[in-house]
Structure 1
Amino acid sequence: MSTLEEHIDVAVPIDRAWDGLHRVEDYPRFMGGVRDARPRAEGRARLDVEAGGRLREFEAEVSDHREEHVMEWHTTSAPELTGSFSLHPIDEGHTRIQARITYEPGTIRETFGGPKGFAQANTIERLVRSDLEHFKEYVEQGR
């Protein structure tokens, strides 16, 4: 298993950043490849993701630890992905968002296509970094 950790600072209070992460239907606005996203009952979400030239459907279970400002998630079928978002207040108007994703590189390559090894790790890092940058724009613009 590989683990990727990235963070970004956003110029919004922690509650606004938290609310932005929970608007599942807005994920296509800031997550690369996500074409459609819908919340489901019982802490689940469904995402339609275009990757490797194909559209794939994923279901994820989400659990919140609101008092600690931590959202954890994992896919309920292949590929096995787990992750979390931890929010940390910097001051009243700024928040640090820490993203952590755990994945099996071989499974990701089989599911999404793409190169092996280091090149694939770089691709995933760029994707996560880009998604965080887009989330920053999304939440700071008050959408």
Structure 2
Amino acid sequence: MTTVEEVVEVAVPVRTAYNQWTQFKSFPRFMSAVKRVEQINPAVTRWVIGIGPLHREFKAEIVEQRPDSHLVWQSLERSPYHRGTVSFRSVAPDRTVMTVRIETTRRGLRDAVTNGLGVTRRVVRAELRNFKEYIEGLGEESGAWRASIHNGHVLPLEPEPPRSRVPRWPVG
């Protein structure tokens, strides 16, 4: 198993970084290796990725997701298998540290050569820089998905706190 971990700090609030990251269909706009993402259901996506002549299509399941905290996914195909985590940590009101960790299994000569040359690490690093430029350029997210997922199951949205029932009297 090969593990890659990369960290980037983005100049947006944690909520903004997290919200944009949940917009998987937008990934091809800023990630050069991601060609297409289809949201099959809230917990399953289909990805088409490619670098040069190498292209792969796979489905991934989100197994754990907590707004403004983290997202964990795993490929549904066993060959090649990968599992990933992206975590979000606020370091200031307008700054977020994102950590991406991806674990892959080596299957065959092509994967061994790719991992052996550090291609996966370089791609993850470059794509995180692309995300940083994209979200900082926008300054705000283009959408959001705020539900939680646990063990691959979507949990009900937490209710918003009740609004005050104290009447407000006109001033003046």
By the TM > 0.5 criterion, same fold?
A: yes
Which amino acid is 2:46 matched to? R
Which amino acid is 1:96 matched to? V
Q: Is the 8 A contact 2:15 2:68 kept in 1?
A: no
Structure 1 stretch displaced more, 80-89 or 41-50: 41-50
Q: Is the 8 A contact 2:114 2:120 kept in 1?
A: no
Which residue of structure 1 lines up, in the alignment, with residue 84 of structure 2?
A: 83
Which amino acid is 1:133 matched to? R
Cα 1:28–1:114 change in 2 (3 A) is farther
The Cα offsets for residues 6-56 of structure 1, whole Å up to 9 and x where unpaired, read as 100000000000011100101112323211111121401111122462543
The Cα offsets for residues 91-135 of structure 1, whole Å up to 9 and x where unpaired, read as 10000000000012x327535x84562x2xx22111110000000
| Unaligned ranges ≥5, structure 2 | 143-172
Q: Determine which structure has more spread, i.e. the larger CA radius of gyration.
A: 2
Cα 1:115–1:12 change in 2 (3 A) is closer
Which residue of structure 2 lines up, in the alignment, with residue 13 of structure 1?
A: 13
Mapped partners of 2:122, 2:67: distance in 1 = 30
Structure 1 stretch displaced more, 91-100 or 20-29: 20-29
Cα 1:54–1:5 change in 2 (3 A) is closer
Which residue of structure 2 lines up, in the alignment, with residue 129 of structure 1?
A: 125
TM-score w.r.t. length of structure 1:
0.85
Cα 1:36–1:11 change in 2 (3 A) is same
| Unaligned ranges ≥5, structure 1 | none
Mapped partners of 2:10, 2:81: distance in 1 = 29
Q: Is the 8 A contact 1:9 1:97 kept in 2?
A: yes
Q: Is the 8 A contact 2:73 2:85 kept in 1?
A: yes
Which residue of structure 2 lines up, in the alignment, with residue 47 of structure 1?
A: 47
SS in 2 for 1:141: helix
Q: Is the 8 A contact 1:59 1:76 kept in 2?
A: yes
1:66 Cα deviation (Å)?
Answer: 1.6
Does residue 142 of structure 2 align to residue 141 of structure 1? Answer: no
Cα 1:63–1:138 change in 2 (3 A) is farther
Percent identity over the alignment is: 28
Q: Is the 8 A contact 2:2 2:103 kept in 1?
A: yes
Does residue 94 of structure 2 align to residue 98 of structure 1? Answer: no
Q: Higher helix proportion, which one?
A: 1
